[in-house]
Amino acid sequence: MDAEYIAALDIGGTKMAAMVASRDGPLARISQPSIKSGTSRALPEQGLELIEAVCAKAGVPASAINTLGVASAGPFVREEGAIALCSPNLCGGLSSDSDLPNDWTSIPLEKVVRERYATVAIDNDCVSALVAERTFGAVIDEPDCAYVTWSTGIGFGLCVDGRLLRGKNGNAGHAGHILMSETDDALCGCGNRGDLEALASGRNVGIRANMPASELFERARNGDAQAREVAERAAQWFGRGLYNLVATLDTRVFVIGGSVWLHHGNWLAPLVMREIESRFPALTSGVRILPAALGRLVADVGALAMVVPKDWIPLWRQGKPWEKLAKG
Amino acid sequence: MDAEYIAALDIGGTKMAAMVASRDGPLARISQPSIKSGTSRALPEQGLELIEAVCAKAGVPASAINTLGVASAGPFVREEGAIALCSPNLCGGLSSDSDLPNDWTSIPLEKVVRERYATVAIDNDCVSALVAERTFGAVIDEPDCAYVTWSTGIGFGLCVDGRLLRGKNGNAGHAGHILMSETDDALCGCGNRGDLEALASGRNVGIRANMPASELFERARNGDAQAREVAERAAQWFGRGLYNLVATLDTRVFVIGGSVWLHHGNWLAPLVMREIESRFPALTSGVRILPAALGRLVADVGALAMVVPKDWIPLWRQGKPWEKLAKG
């Protein structure tokens, strides 16, 4: 029997969101801060409770849900074949100088949610965002594309030859951590110096400029010469990063989201394109960058898109029912 | 009816090789310098003639061949959907200061060989090498792996989730051209400064040391301090390049071939591994590097492996019939 309802979770380092949807579209969404204490099962159990709550809010019996899509912050590890989280933003046991109120070294995400749901799909949140954009957004039917978030961090969801890339533990797309400078000693949260995220992420650009990234990019747009220099340098690094992806994967289209791009993509885009187009024409000719069509809800809609029944897709494409959630 | 014979071509910037094989293995191989004059059809037509010649050598009627695998130097472009070559080492029309005796801007490889053969598979030579290693070599059944050649240039064949990556024009794996240094002004043949190939390829390391790369690595192995420093620096860049692939694709195993690695992999391997293992344990934990099992014939055997009938594979794995060719 086909599903009447599906559910989705978006698990981040700061917040978690749950949604429930029917053929007509997402019915409700609830968000709350991610739990960071208790046993290592606490976070996925919070997710299960949040789905019960969002079902109650939507008037859907929780027992009607058998299918769950999960978009989650990475990286992942495999424990007895099941995906577990080993994100340093969630697991206090991964670093000796962590100030998190737990000693988790991994979080058994897939194990816990499979105890409750028969059908489960779990992907990195950037992979999930790419699923959303390929199903409902800017790159429908595009076989060679990537989703990129330029926000606090920088992450990628990758698609080559029409297939999403996952890799040995589902961590394909951590190209925010590729090494790009050997002299710039910018430090990344992962411990690298001179990787893309150290050089261009909102968090790291903000640290260098000694102000929030949002303020820095705002000042740069308004003509402040010093802020402009920092922002342009970040855009160059970001563009060089996208070029590196083109050289590696022969990508045709990048869909870009995240808070930096949502607010400043219009004036940053030419700076980024210049770094791509100026190199190796056989690889870069015709490469395009597009803004994410699904905006702030891209990972949430992606978590639904990962498990959406095929016959709902044309209806959702036409009605864009997630837009109600964005306003709610 | 199943094929009784298959043929293969390996097209390089310097030489071209043709092979014919039966269930018992490769029967003969002929190699000759790649043609670089005449019309843009000259090179693929040379390939067709070379297959006729290798059939004659093996006593196989040329009319018995309907299936062809081609490993070729890239990059590729698509012309009316068919793969054409736009390699700067073959096409004189791609650069104003080329000294090649032709004005080709592309070579209609797939178009010409499809006029003769019903079943044709064409891949970049590093992709083909990876097919060889996944079918007969070091990474049989490994879903997340890459072949890397460290030779005159540096190139990759990529496999993620058990599927080879090709990209919009079949150019996935040109990660020798990822940018890795913004201060080192080493110039690559593609025009980039500070890409992996500029920093570590045999050709470029040789140019910097003012001697052939073979001599440089030989001296380094024998303890010459100056040569050792140059070689170790190249190995560091190479290792950082492999780490970048791990971060991007969550790769588990690298199979490494090419003349530098064939002769010096044993002492370079620890230097390369250090650059991988020192970074981001969630991604790099358990990553391994292995020498190519098929040695110098890896791309040739790969061109056959691309079209080999499934029921021949167990026989070839057992008998390693390509080893006769390596001696011939």
Chain A residue with minimum CA distance to B155: A248
Provide the H-helix boundaries in chain A.
Answer: 42-58, 109-114, 125-136, 196-200, 202-209, 213-221, 225-249, 259-277, 281-284, 298-305, 313-319, 322-327
Determine the pLDDT at residue A155: 97
How close, in Å, is residue B159 to chain A by CA atoms?
9
Determine the pLDDT at residue A119: 97
Pairwise CB contact (< 8 Å): B161 & A158 = no
How close, in Å, is residue A91 to chain B by CA atoms?
13
Q: Sort out which chain B residues have CB atoms less than 8 A from A75's CB and list them.
A: 282-283
Q: Mean pLDDT across chain B, nearest whole number?
A: 95
Among A95, A154, A164, A168, pick the best mutation site for testing chain B contact (most B Cβ within 10 A).
A168
Chain B residue with minimum CA distance to A106: B282
Among A238, A283, A287, pick the best mutation site for testing chain B contact (most B Cβ within 10 A).
A283
Q: Give tens-digit pLDDT for B283-300.
A: 999 999 999 999 889 999
CATH code assigned to B5-125+297-327: 3.30.420.40
Q: Give tens-digit pLDDT for B2-39.
A: 789 999 999 998 999 999 999 999 999 999 999 999 99
Pairwise CB contact (< 8 Å): A175 & B245 = no
> Could you write out the DSSP letters of every residue in A249-311?
H---EEEEESHHHHHHHHHHHHHHHHHHHTS-HHHHTT-EEEE-TTGGGHHHHHHHHTT--GG
CB B99: neighbour CB atoms within 10 A? 6
Chain B residue with minimum CA distance to A155: B248
Q: How far apart are CA B94 and CA B92, in angstroms?
A: 6
Determine the pLDDT at residue A328: 52
Identify which of A169, A175, A180 has the shortest CB distance to residue B248.
A175
Q: Sort out which chain B residues have CB atoms less than 8 A from A156's CB and list them.
A: 248
pLDDT over 70 (residue B327):
no
Pairwise CB contact (< 8 Å): A166 & B161 = yes
Determine the pLDDT at residue A296: 87
High-pLDDT (> 90) share of chain B, %: 89
Q: Sort out which chain A residues have CB atoms less than 8 A from B243's CB and list them.
A: 178-179
pLDDT over 90 (residue B328):
no
Q: How many residues does chain A have?
A: 328
CATH code assigned to A5-123+297-327: 3.30.420.40
Cross-strand partners of A85: A76, A107
Pairwise CB contact (< 8 Å): B170 & A250 = yes
Identify which of A77, A160, A174 has the shortest CB distance to residue B165.
A160
Q: Give tens-digit pLDDT for A131-159.
A: 999 999 999 989 999 999 999 999 999 99
Pairwise CB contact (< 8 Å): B168 & A250 = yes
Pairwise CB contact (< 8 Å): A182 & B177 = no
CATH code 3.30.420.40 region(s) in chain B = 5-125+297-327, 138-292
Fold of domain A138-292:
Nucleotidyltransferase; domain 5 (3.30.420)
Q: Give tens-digit pLDDT for B247-284.
A: 999 999 999 999 999 999 999 999 999 999 999 999 99
How close, in Å, is residue B197 to chain A by CA atoms?
12
Pairwise CB contact (< 8 Å): B182 & A183 = yes
ipTM for this model: 0.96
Q: Sort out which chain A residues have CB atoms less than 8 A from B175's CB and list them.
A: 244, 247-248
Backbone angles phi, psi at A41, to 5 degrees: -85, -10
**pLDDT class of B95 with cuts at 50, 70, 90:** confident
Angle among Cα B248, A184, A193 to the nearest 5 degrees reads: 45
**pLDDT class of B97 with cuts at 50, 70, 90:** confident
CB A168: neighbour CB atoms within 10 A? 24
Determine the pLDDT at residue B196: 97
Determine the pLDDT at residue B255: 98
Taken in order A212, A217, A222, A226, is the CA torsion positive or negative?
Answer: positive
Dihedral Cα B104, B109, B113, B114, nearest 10 deg: -120
Enumerate residue ranges in chain A where pLDDT < 50.
Answer: none
Q: Closest Cα partner for A18 from A53, A44, A45, A42?
A: A53
Angle between helices A213-221 and A225-249 (to 10 degrees): 110
Chain A residue with minimum CA distance to B239: A179
The number of C-beta contacts closer than 8 angstroms across A and B is: 158
Q: Give tens-digit pLDDT for B98-120.
A: 889 999 999 999 999 999 999 99
Q: Sort out which chain B residues have CB atoms less than 8 A from A282's CB and list them.
A: 74-77, 86, 169, 171
CATH code 3.30.420.40 region(s) in chain A = 5-123+297-327, 138-292
Range B165-180 average pLDDT? 97
Q: How far apart are CA A150 and CA A235, in angstroms?
A: 10
Among A124, A160, A177, A248, pick the best mutation site for testing chain B contact (most B Cβ within 10 A).
A248
Phi-psi region of A160 (alpha: psi -120 to 50; beta: other; left: phi over 0): beta
